Amino acid sequence: MESLFFLPLVVMTLFMAAVPAALLFYVSPAEILRAVSSAEILFALHLSLTTSILAVSASLLLGVPTAYLLARRDFFGKAAIDTLLDLPLVMTPLIAGVGLLFLFGEKWLGRAMAELGLRVLFTPWGAAAAQTFIAAPILTRSCRAAFEAVDRKYELAGQTLGLSPSRVFLKVTLPLARQGLISGTILAWARALGEFGATLMVAGATRFKTATLPISVYLNISSGELGLALACSWVLLLSGVILLFSLKWIGRSRKRHLQAGGL
């Protein structure tokens, strides 16, 4: 039975490997070198990393408590909130961007926020806000599943042994849900890093200001600089891969630690 599964595995692996390979085929090492030494691309990479880290931090702050409540409590309107949180997953990012543009625009929040000295539209903050809107639901979804998988008996045991509810959450629930939280964070981060449509609308495509790496790719494709665009996408891909591996490695080393008896 299992041996039958190897064929799809091989096909899938080849398919997933072929696309980056095809991309690499069209870029010369010289072009990659040109890309990583271009001030514009380096700025875009830096901006992409900063805004995506901001977006993931915001998503964690908002998503983890939300996920915990959705997993553990029943309250009025829970089903509606649950559906609402899935909405960004099916929304075209460009439309999400238009929505955010209206929300943070002059007619809605824009003026009030400008009086507080906070400008979201056409700034890196806008990019981070757009990425949070797209990434937070993904993170919340994974975290919720992770919390639901934690056996309540352990939490109850912790409480019986005299731990306060907050210590139960920090010492029992969080460590047990760790794997799910980490994979949720990885997914959300990857999504934020590659986010294009919503960011484009809210932040604009201003080079050296709001052009993140995906926007830079788009600008370079539009101006016919295919080589530079592909080199950019390789920089993006590589940073994604490094990110994925480091987070997976953190997850694994912790797991070993747990298996060895520590908590």
Partner 1 sequence: MKQITLTIISFLILSLASASAAELHFFVGAGLRQPVDRLVEDFQQKTGHRVVLDYDGGGRLLARITASGMGDLFMPGSFFYIEKLQAEGKILSWRPVVAHTPVIAVAKSKADQVRTLEDLAKPGVRLALGDPKAMALGKTAVTILERAHLKEKVMPNVSVYGATVKQLTLYVAEGNVDAAIIGRTDAFQFRDRVNMIPIPDEYIEVETVPVAVLTTATNLQAAVALQDFVSSPDAIKVFENFGFLPLK
Task: Tell me which residues touch partner 1 (CB under 8 A).
Answer: 98, 101-102, 105-107, 110, 121-122, 200-201, 204-207, 210, 215, 218-226
With contact defined as beta carbons under 8 Å apart, do 93 and 195 qualify? yes
Please, which residue, 148 or 225, has the CB nearer to partner 1?
Answer: 225
CB 219 → partner 1: shortest distance, Å? 4
Question: What is the sign, positive or negative, of the torsion defined by CA atoms of 125, 130, 133, 135?
Answer: negative
Please, which residue, 42 or 238, has the CB nearer to partner 1?
Answer: 42
Strands (E), 88-201: none
Please, which residue, 42 or 89, has the CB nearer to partner 1?
Answer: 42
With contact defined as beta carbons under 8 Å apart, do 137 and 88 qualify? yes
CB 262 → partner 1: shortest distance, Å? 51
Distance in angstroms between the alpha carbons of the first and the last residue of the chain: 37
Distance between CA atoms of 69 and 71, rounded to whole angstroms?
Answer: 5
CB 210 → partner 1: shortest distance, Å? 7
Give the closest residue to 127 by CA, choosing from 204, 22, 37, 187.
204
Please, which residue, 207 or 255, has the CB nearer to partner 1?
Answer: 207
With contact defined as beta carbons under 8 Å apart, do 48 and 259 qualify? no
Please, which residue, 162 or 224, has the CB nearer to partner 1?
Answer: 224
CB 114 → partner 1: shortest distance, Å? 11
CB 102 → partner 1: shortest distance, Å? 7
Distance between CA atoms of 263 and 248, rounded to whole angstroms?
Answer: 19
With contact defined as beta carbons under 8 Å apart, do 74 and 151 qualify? no
